[in-house]
Amino acid sequence: MPQYLKLQPPFIARDHFLSQIPAPHPAIEMCETVDSLGRILSEDLFAPHPLPQFPRSTVDGYAVRSGETNGASESLPALLRLAGEAPMGKIAVQSVLSGEAILIHTGGMLPPGADAVVMLEQTQLTGSDNLEIYRPVAANENIIQVGEDVHTSDLVIPAGRRIRPVEIGGLMSFGVTCVRVNRAPRVGILSSGDEIVPPYESPQAGQVRDINTATMSAIVREAGGVPVDYPIIPDDPEALYQAVARAHAENDMVLITAGSSASTRDLTSEVVARLGKPGVLVHGVNVRPGKPTILAVCDGKPVIGLPGNPVSALVISGLFARPAIHKLLGCTDPVYQPAITARLTATVSSLAGREDWVPVILQPSEQGYLAEPIFFKSNLIFNLVRANGLLHIEADATGLTAGEMASIEIL
């Protein structure tokens, strides 16, 4: 029996692997803020001015001196004189004098003299300028004060944040229309195998089209990296070394989907070991599918050898490639793995000590979501196309029983 696999638990393998990737200093590039969705902010953003910059009303109503509404009620309203209207988008110059109120709209600037706004719904205008107020307001009620959102020099967006729509809004609120972001890591993608031909070629008997390069490229793109594809490599040690060394030199990270035979995997491991220190960290992970995974860091660049079948590629990318890209990106956000809870329609067994990932078909039902495990050979791409979820069975479990609730990661 081949001895090349010293199986490591996936999370220990991952921590070891990630810890050997040096803290990144990603190159920085400029980007229009409107095009920055999903990019990683390079610098802390400090507020150049307070927000809001002037006191604003949060409702439609009347700016008043709050003390003059004390004790107001339906039966005994406070009576004020409507003295004018605060203009939208202009400085409010007219002061609210004693006994007066000024009409104000949501977002309008609070006039001098006023310290609160009474909601329109709690008032009635009788005649042209007699205002009845049916409820007292406290000082500052229905107002956003200067700096209530942020004060000048507050750290408002930290470096390393992945830019979402709300960050774009936040940047725009300070007029930051151009922003420094981390350059996305380039990930070289290599597939090897004498039986593999490019997808645009017609395979001869015994040959198959390469699906790994395109699949891995898409996975890299989803994770925030820039995939760089290389031509298919024949099963030849020197050709493999030349191709891998070139991809290693030209990129920030390398993914190799080698042939799945044991000899090819050993070959990949030897080739990767020649690329630089510390070299191969993990060769074999206690996970199904994906056992013969190679995790290496060579001269500061992560290199991953993946089994050449679709399910393994998906699982191993999620466990190792995505977090590595995330680290190279300089992204400091915690990673949450959202999932939905579903009821298993069949029993799934698992070896204790081994983590299992099983593709499932999720379906809504009257009783919540159902998850139907797909049992199949992991070489079959179209069974995976049918799946829309992945069931994770922890290493300490020996399986899950039909009818049990399980957490399903959405594919």
Establish if 3 lies at the interface with its own copies (CB under 8 A): no
275 or 389: CB nearest its own copies: 389
Establish if 269 lies at the interface with its own copies (CB under 8 A): no
From candidates 118, 131, 157, 303, binder to its own copies by CB under 8 A: 157
Q: CA separation (Å) from 264 to 145, 236, 257, 270?
A: 67, 9, 10, 10
Establish if 284 lies at the interface with its own copies (CB under 8 A): no
Measured from the CB of residue 276, what is the shortest distance to its own copies in angstroms? 29
* Per-residue DSSP letter, 382: H
45 or 298: CB nearest its own copies: 45
Establish if 339 lies at the interface with its own copies (CB under 8 A): yes
Please give the Cα distance from 388 to 222 (Å, whole number). Answer: 16
Establish if 246 lies at the interface with its own copies (CB under 8 A): no
Please give the Cα distance from 246 to 131 (Å, whole number). Answer: 80
Establish if 128 lies at the interface with its own copies (CB under 8 A): no
SS3 (DSSP) at 92: coil
From candidates 186, 370, 383, 397, binder to its own copies by CB under 8 A: 383
CA 135 to chain CA centroid, Å, is 46
Measured from the CB of residue 60, what is the shortest distance to its own copies in angstroms? 5
Establish if 23 lies at the interface with its own copies (CB under 8 A): no
Strands, DSSP E only, in 158-293? Answer: 178-182, 186-191, 196-197, 208-209, 226-229, 253-257, 278-283, 287-288
From candidates 40, 156, 254, 256, binder to its own copies by CB under 8 A: 156
The separation between the first and the last C-alpha atoms of the chain, rounded to the nearest angstrom, is 35
Residues 294 to 333: which contact its own copies by CB under 8 A? Answer: 308, 310, 314, 333
Residues 57 to 96: which contact its own copies by CB under 8 A? Answer: 58, 60, 87-92
Burial class (CB in 10 A: 0-12, 13-18, 19+), 189: buried
From candidates 209, 300, 347, 375, binder to its own copies by CB under 8 A: 209
| Binding span for its own copies by CB under 8 A among 29-37, 72-80, 266-274, 390-398 | 29-37
| Binding span for its own copies by CB under 8 A among 77-85, 181-189, 194-202, 243-251 | 194-202
From candidates 99, 199, 300, 399, binder to its own copies by CB under 8 A: 199
Measured from the CB of residue 136, what is the shortest distance to its own copies in angstroms? 18
CA 316 to chain CA centroid, Å, is 18
Please give the Cα distance from 340 to 42 (Å, whole number). Answer: 33
Tokens of 174: 């300070």
Longest dimension (CA), the chain: 98
From candidates 63, 78, 101, 109, binder to its own copies by CB under 8 A: 109
Measured from the CB of residue 315, what is the shortest distance to its own copies in angstroms? 12
**Among 132, 92, 135, 133, residue whose Cα is nearest residue 114:** 92
